[in-house]
Amino acid sequence: MPKKLLLLPPLCASSTLRAPRARPAARPAMNAARTGYRVFSANSTAACTELAKRITERLGAELGKSVVYQETNGETRVEIKESVRGQDIFIIQTIPRDVNTAVMELLIMAYALKTACARNIIGVIPYFPYSKQSKMRKRGSIVCKLLASMLAKAGLTHIITMDLHQKEIQGFFSFPVDNLRASPFLLQYIQEEIPNYRNAVIVAKSPDAAKRAQSYAERLRLGLAVIHGEAQCTELDMDDGRHSPPMVKNATVHPGLELPCKIKVTYMGRLGGSVQERGAYKIYVMATHGILSAEAPRLIEESSIDEVVVTNTVPHEVQKLQCPKIKTVDISLILSEAIRRIHNGESMAYLFRNITVDD
């Protein structure tokens, strides 16, 4: 608390009484006043810097001054170049192909800001890494829960992310998690960029994705088809009591698990056979996170796919240069609005309007 200066009237011989001066209004307590906020980029890659600049431009703010680099021995070093005492700090971190380096950058920057007495540290992580390792497997571990504990220990107090692999992941955290949705932006792209979209059919890649595909089809008032595959797994992949949840023979297996299974594909809905065999003249693939391998541009270019539409949650500039079929949808608008609302203590419900439970 600042020291108060007590002003005494000067001594005088006159005994005339004077009216007491009005006291100045007391200053509000520090915790009652609204503090400022800063936005930092957790790495210097072009994709992360570009997303951070888009967000700060929408907020009318400047990007925080920091330096993030790798030492010659591979260690990550973070230097904060301005005061952050008592402020709300938002760290923008996209996840490039080097996932572990990105995680260390985020952890070290969060800890540096915590040491610098930041009021709140909010991680803006559009694609949350290790989210597919959220279930127990043979002799494995739930790495996603470990990462959540590490982020809390480093000093994060809140996370903004988008389209988590499983919504239940939010239960791993000891602080609030806002899981935003990209569906409004993808739906807008369909309505504005795809000619004659009302003659389209929404196709779910698996029965697990049927609910989400149905929510898209209902909002666009289109038909729905589901690709159904019967997995025939080997004996090595059968349940030995250590899976959570237990595996079932001939069950539909999530493709991300990469098990050596043979899939027999059938189609249910308005498509009775393969997409092109049934007269489809345009094929669009849409996803929130464009996690594209080095071979993805060539494979997409050689395929019958006309466009692959992804958001800018994950860097994919190199792949776009190699394949013009890859299109990007900008989601900086919803991220900047989430930052503004969290800083001002406003409700986040507005960002989830027209969002279904299955999104």
Tell me whether the omega of the peptide bond preceding residue 245 falls within 30 degrees of 0, making it cis. Answer: yes
Is it the case that residue 323 has pLDDT exceeding 80? yes
What is the pLDDT confidence band of residue 230, given thresholds at 50, 70 and 90? low
pLDDT of 278 higher than 80? no
| β-bridge pairing 262-269 and 223-232 | antiparallel
The DSSP letter of residue 166 is S
> Are 23 and 288 a contacting pair, CB within 8 Å?
no
Q: Is the pLDDT of residue 241 over 90?
A: no
pLDDT in tens, 49-68: 899 999 999 999 999 999 99
% the chain with pLDDT above 70? 76
Kindly report the average pLDDT of the chain as a whole number: 81
Residues sharing a CB contact under 8 Å with residue 121, sequence separation 6 or more, in sequence order: 89, 91, 110, 113, 114, 155, 156, 157, 158
pLDDT at 134 (0 to 100): 87
Beta partners for 265? 229
- Average pLDDT on 290-306 reads 92
Weakest mean pLDDT among 59-68, 93-102, 238-247, 342-351: 238-247
Of 41-50, 59-68, 100-109, 157-166, the poorest mean pLDDT is in 41-50
In this predicted model, what pLDDT tens digit does every residue of 325-338 receive, in sequence order? 999 999 999 999 99
Please give the Cα distance from 328 to 313 (Å, whole number). 10
Bridge partners of 203?
225
Instruction: Give how far Cα 308 sits from Cα of 146, 192, 240, 278, 354, Å.
Output: 33, 16, 39, 21, 24
Instruction: Give the integer Cα–Cα distance in Å for 106 and 123.
Output: 8
